[in-house]
Structure 1
Amino acid sequence: MARRTQRSVLPSSTRDFLRDYAAQEPSLLGRSYEQNVLADENKTSVGAVYTPLYIVDYIVENTLRRTEIPSPAILDPACGGGYFLLASYQWLIDRQVETKRRRLSDTELLSILRDSIFGADIDAGAVEITQHALALMAFQNRTDTSNQNTPLFDQALNELSKTIIVGNSLTGPAFTSAKNSRPVDANAINWPIRHPQLLDRGGFDVVIGNPPYCRELDFGEQLEQIARTALGKAYRSPRMDLWYYFVHRGRELLRPDGLLSFIVNSYWTSSTGAAKLIATMRDSMAMEEVVDLGRAKVFDKVSGPHMIFRLRNQHSTSKIAVKRIPESVRESAEAFVVGTKTVDTELVDPATFYRGGKVRLRGNSEARQLQHLEQFTPLENLGQVRQGIAENPASINARTNQRFDNRWQVGEGVFVLTKDEVAALSLTNSERELLRPYHTLSDIDCYRVAKEPSKYLIYSTRETCPDIEAFPNIKRHLEPFKEIMQARRETSNGNNQWWHLHWPRDEAIWRSPKIICPQMVAQPTFAASLEPCYVPFSVNVFVPEDTSRENLYFITAILNSSLLRTWFEHHAKQRGVGLEINGHVLKQAPVREVDHNTPRDVRLYKEIVDLTGDCKIESRIDKLVSEFYKVN
């Protein structure tokens, strides 16, 4: 097989892969590169991960067979090791072989590469690997397999140098932009100039891949660069993920009626940062299929829920096929994706799927249930919802310690103290009056708060401690941390003294009977507290109105029920393996008020209250709550 002489961008170790695997599967080139070189260079930190081949095959098969164009133009805008392009190339070869009932000529193999296979990546090494793997695939599919001296390999590399390119797919102008649009960086791909033949035909026919997942918190610089482009100005949103841009850019690069299919994480479905993405899908495209992979294992080093979706670049009101792996599955998703195990499937109306500006994966029956809940009273109408105390700081963490030259011990209490730390202060009786029972997350369980707090809070506020000189032992304890407190916003603005808590809230909240709930939870966990209870910023608090007739444990049971858990799963943001129930979401939680003049309501009310506090019979409480809400 002839070899082309060129200056390689790959390290010597990677060039060895080309030699070692040249006679084997072409996909091994990309896999070796991603598993060895990218791992060594920590490319996973920029969202690059290996895509399982069964996922690649599913996306390619279920997308390409739905295009009627004989030679569709296929793009992977973040191609990495080239898995999606290799699978697409082989799929197109197999289709032509089946149609023509013969092996393809070199000219036909090159024609498919030139007309149908397109890719881009910011990693020059990955692009070179993809080019070589595709050229090797062409060579393996040649008519005369005995001829090792064919120029096909070199000819394929020449074609691929024009179609598999190094560059940023997001920062240059799309087909709809002017050719002379000024790029924001040297790596930007000017799509009208690089592929003018596709401009004439309206764009690519198919966009597929596994775009990089990069949150704004961790990749602000990259997202800021995109924000200066036309794409960024149109679609930038707070708390968005980088892959959202690949959907928007994919739509811009697709011809009308073209197809886009990606595998992505599932965190976006209820995220406010995805509002523009969801609006684009709903109003400008047609979601044809969603495969909800749930918590099944997909990637070796990436946890959390994932999904596959396929969109068509034209609006439609046709129903959406929603396929779901059971939520309880934690093993590999492969058997469900390839079809050896069954998935739940239903057709969902787009109005239901996009209800409330979010994506609803649970289908029609659950949508009707959620719609039923909307008639009931928001929790905020029954009392006040507040966030816990912002001590700032509760104790010394590693980041704060590093910022101040590691002068303390990590974990050392500042405003929040252990029993031993309190004992070491030798407080007077008057100083002890500033201490409050402080319940951390470990003190909060299903329905109940620990009787004894794990820690104590120095509740120093403008009301309780106007003059720190009156509390000398507390002053002596807090003074080493003075520099931290002076840098706080409320202190620098003159609203607080340095020895005060940052946001202590109204103390009546902490002295009143209330319901508390950690914000970040695997599942909603609400606990009633009838005694004074002070909690951190990571906990939400509900204090009922004085006029409320409902027992606190009754409302707690409702919020802990499986019925409301479903509501929270649809309205709260998913974070890793759990939910983020912030104050805004908690305020909207639907609570059905008891009609104390109706015997049925009174009976269910009393039964629920009598059962609360025993988590072993939660299933019985769930049934009673569903009956109370009149939900089957």
Structure 2
Amino acid sequence: MDLPTHFGPDAYQYGKRTSGETHGVVLTKPHIVDLILDLAGYTRDRRLHELRLLDPAVGTGAFLLRAVHRLMYVANREGLRPSELGAALTSFDIDPSHVEAARAHVRAALKEHGVSVKVAARLADQWVRPGDFLLTPLAPFDVVVGNPPYIRIEQLSQRLQAEYRRRYASLFDRADLYVAFIERGLDLLKPEGRLSFICADRWILNRYGAPLRRKLTEQFRVHAYVDLHRASPFESEVIAYPSIFAISQGRSERVAVASMARATPDECDALRGHLLGAHPVTSPGVSVSTYDSWFQGDEPWVLSTPEHLEALRALEARFRPIEEGSSTRVRIGVATGSDKVFIVPADADIEADRLVPLVKREDIQEGAIQDARRCVINTFTQEGRLVDLKRYPRLARYLKANEETLQRRHVAQNNKAGWYRTIDRVYPELVQRPKLLIPDIAGSNEVVFEAGHYHPHHNLYFITSEDWDLEVLGGLLGSKVALFFIWAYAVKMRGGYLRFQAQYLRRICLPSPTELPRKLSDALRKAFRQRDFARLDELAHVAYGLKSLPAFDFVDTRR
């Protein structure tokens, strides 16, 4: 039995469209909307009155209004009365204020086409519906377009999370809600229908996008994918890392993968002419590659150029991932849930055996660690249970003084008895282990050797190994060859920066440490200690048996 289309006061408001926006709607620029409608096949040369178009998160109507004008043009050409168009358009929003705003904009648009006030009001009410698109029963559509909401699933109420996860297999791990919008939009397509969204691109590479990628590769056809990382497709400035994609039922064949530098009207026109009219690309801000075959299963979509993908696949065929068949492990440092409480000076008035030396990203300067004399509080016993505060009166006094702050955390809300726990467990024994440290966000691979004095903070990833001399491994991981793996798989951020998350670091493939000649290992170790990155790049090419790699853009922050 279907739940009501509105969950009540705990329901999430779909107006939260992109990161950085907590109220209102981020509007997509009109010429971007027009490109998306064109890629979806909603063009004026078709009998649009015979098609059904859906915008699942209408906001104030950016997509719907452009569709209305196209529909009315066709209706006038075909001699149709506006009152006959009630079934042509459908849109949803869960925010009543957005519904009313979109309806008002529709009424105004219809007035421009000479539609009577009464008919315009009736059509606006039909075309813009209040309710939750993800929970409302619907018949199939010919066209699905829009800008789905961007919000992490764990930010919703527990009740709503459970229902969404029950219905949508794509809501895997810490998925963003937009993946459920993509899944349902695809499932609502008619056999010849097409979906075209502008959407954050995290799902094409991240772990949480795996189920959606599998569904797409097995059941649907990708027609075009447009990277807008460098562009500004929205009316306001937001950090969203968007892309545009057009998908239909079938199996992917030749796929056009494009990018636009600024997504100006001229660039959109040039791209449209190439994708839909096979015209040569005339704008220097537009680049297009053609993939003759698409990806399989749930593997990440590595979308740069076919040349880059060929080089990546060749390396992956010859070498093994960093964790495969070895003791080498990639992990992330400790997350506390309240750094201002749990990270304290080394001389804090807390029992010494509860304080663990900590290294943070900002402690690393030019490849060396500056001891900031800070510690993380360890609230766990060696067996993994929370410590008994009665045995630690100074720790108890400190935590009690900060109890209000700690109780407000999500981890405490779910575990009242464990209100003073850190999100992650602290492992004091990790301090003594030599390790490689890698910052989470950087322009390039800033790998640092840590001899065994600190526990890493969660803004650092760390690598331990029994198989490798860590300085030799650090030399390989600090090279452009290792960076090529990260660059291929990682999410690209504004300014050319990359996320060095564990899921991407684990994609790095390496030669066997036992097969590296001793002279080469010694040279790698020496270059790593000297931070001689030009030499590391040369030595890595020798270790991998490479003559060259395809050029790729990155911000070289290695130092």
- The bucket for the TM-score relative to the shorter chain is 0.7 to 0.9
What's 1:455 paired with?
374
What do residues 158-179 of structure 1 show as CA deviations (whole Å, max 9, x unaligned)? 344333333322212233xxxx
Contact 1:76 1:120 in 2 (8 A): yes
Letter in 2 for 1:351: W
* TM superposition shift of 1:210: 1.0
More displaced 10-residue stretch of structure 1: 65-74 or 54-63: 65-74
What's 2:345 paired with?
418
* TM superposition shift of 1:271: 2.4
| 1:271–1:228 distance in 2 versus 1, CA, 3 Å | closer
What's 1:359 paired with?
301
Alignment pair present for 1:563 and 2:507: no
Contact 1:266 1:305 in 2 (8 A): yes
The 2-side partners of 1:204 and 1:124 are apart by 24
* TM superposition shift of 1:268: 1.2
Contact 2:198 2:243 in 1 (8 A): yes
**What are structure 1's unaligned runs of at least 5 residues?**
1-37, 97-102, 143-150, 176-202, 398-410
Letter in 2 for 1:127: V
What's 1:612 paired with?
528
The 2-side partners of 1:417 and 1:132 are apart by 55
More displaced 10-residue stretch of structure 1: 273-282 or 374-383: 374-383
The 1-side partners of 2:165 and 2:421 are apart by 43
Task: Choose the corresponding residue for 1:168, options 108, 119, 132.
Answer: 132
| 1:442–1:126 distance in 2 versus 1, CA, 3 Å | closer
1:2-41 paired onto structure 2 within 5 Å: none
Contact 2:143 2:193 in 1 (8 A): yes
What's 1:408 paired with?
none
What do residues 387-443 of structure 1 show as CA deviations (whole Å, max 9, x unaligned)? 4675968xx65xxxxxxxxxxxxx36x6x5436x45xx5x9xxx9799765322212
* TM superposition shift of 1:258: 0.4
The 2-side partners of 1:524 and 1:77 are apart by 40
Task: Choose the corresponding residue for 1:118, options 90, 101, 106.
Answer: 90
What's 2:291 paired with?
348
What SS does the aligned partner of 1:308 have? strand
What's 1:9 paired with?
none
Contact 1:540 1:583 in 2 (8 A): yes
The 1-side partners of 2:422 and 2:289 are apart by 56
Letter in 2 for 1:56: V
What do residues 552-576 of structure 1 show as CA deviations (whole Å, max 9, x unaligned)? 3332132233332332345556789
Contact 1:286 1:316 in 2 (8 A): yes
What's 2:450 paired with?
529
What do residues 348-390 of structure 1 show as CA deviations (whole Å, max 9, x unaligned)? 14433x5653222223222222222323233334534264675
Contact 2:254 2:294 in 1 (8 A): no
What's 1:544 paired with?
465
What do residues 10-60 of structure 1 show as CA deviations (whole Å, max 9, x unaligned)? xxxxxxxxxxxxxxxxxxxxxxxxxxxx89xx9953784211212112112
Task: Give me the TM-score of the superposition, normalised by structure 1.
Answer: 0.66
The 2-side partners of 1:586 and 1:347 are apart by 28
Task: Choose the corresponding residue for 2:329, options 374, 385, 398.
Answer: 385
Contact 1:58 1:337 in 2 (8 A): yes
Contact 2:214 2:298 in 1 (8 A): no
Alignment pair present for 1:554 and 2:498: no
Letter in 1 for 2:474: T
Contact 1:270 1:573 in 2 (8 A): yes
The 2-side partners of 1:91 and 1:618 are apart by 56
| 1:233–1:82 distance in 2 versus 1, CA, 3 Å | closer
Letter in 1 for 2:150: Y
1:398-413 paired onto structure 2 within 5 Å: 411=340
Letter in 2 for 1:542: I
* TM superposition shift of 1:241: 1.9
Q: Percent of aligned positions with the same letter in both sequences?
A: 20
The 1-side partners of 2:169 and 2:380 are apart by 46
What's 1:22 paired with?
none
What SS does the aligned partner of 1:372 have? helix
Contact 1:385 1:586 in 2 (8 A): no
Alignment pair present for 1:56 and 2:33: yes
Alignment pair present for 1:590 and 2:509: yes
* TM superposition shift of 1:109: 5.6
Contact 1:322 1:348 in 2 (8 A): yes
Contact 1:121 1:166 in 2 (8 A): yes
What do residues 167-213 of structure 1 show as CA deviations (whole Å, max 9, x unaligned)? 322212233xxxxxxxxxxxxxxxxxxxxxxxxxxx32111111111
Task: Choose the corresponding residue for 2:241, options 300, 305, 314.
Answer: 305
What's 1:505 paired with?
427
The 2-side partners of 1:139 and 1:435 are apart by 70
What's 2:276 paired with?
none
What do residues 524-543 of structure 1 show as CA deviations (whole Å, max 9, x unaligned)? 43211235333235533323
Alignment pair present for 1:280 and 2:215: yes
What do residues 272-325 of structure 1 show as CA deviations (whole Å, max 9, x unaligned)? 32223222221221110010112433332420311000111x212311110024
Alignment pair present for 1:243 and 2:140: no
What's 1:82 paired with?
61
Contact 1:47 1:213 in 2 (8 A): no
Task: Give me the TM-score of the superposition, normalised by structure 2.
Answer: 0.74
Contact 1:385 1:540 in 2 (8 A): no
The 1-side partners of 2:513 and 2:331 are apart by 27
Contact 2:58 2:93 in 1 (8 A): yes
RMSD (CA atoms) = 4.5
Task: Choose the corresponding residue for 1:140, options 112, 115, 120.
Answer: 112
Alignment pair present for 1:622 and 2:537: yes
1 or 2, which has the higher helix percentage?
A: 1
Task: Choose the corresponding residue for 1:480, options 397, 401, 421.
Answer: 397
The 2-side partners of 1:43 and 1:574 are apart by 18
Letter in 2 for 1:207: V
What's 2:551 paired with?
none
Letter in 1 for 2:309: A
The 2-side partners of 1:566 and 1:500 are apart by 35
**What are structure 2's unaligned runs of at least 5 residues?**
1-14, 271-282, 549-559
Alignment pair present for 1:217 and 2:217: no
What SS does the aligned partner of 1:155 have? helix
* TM superposition shift of 1:502: 7.8
What SS does the aligned partner of 1:370 have? helix
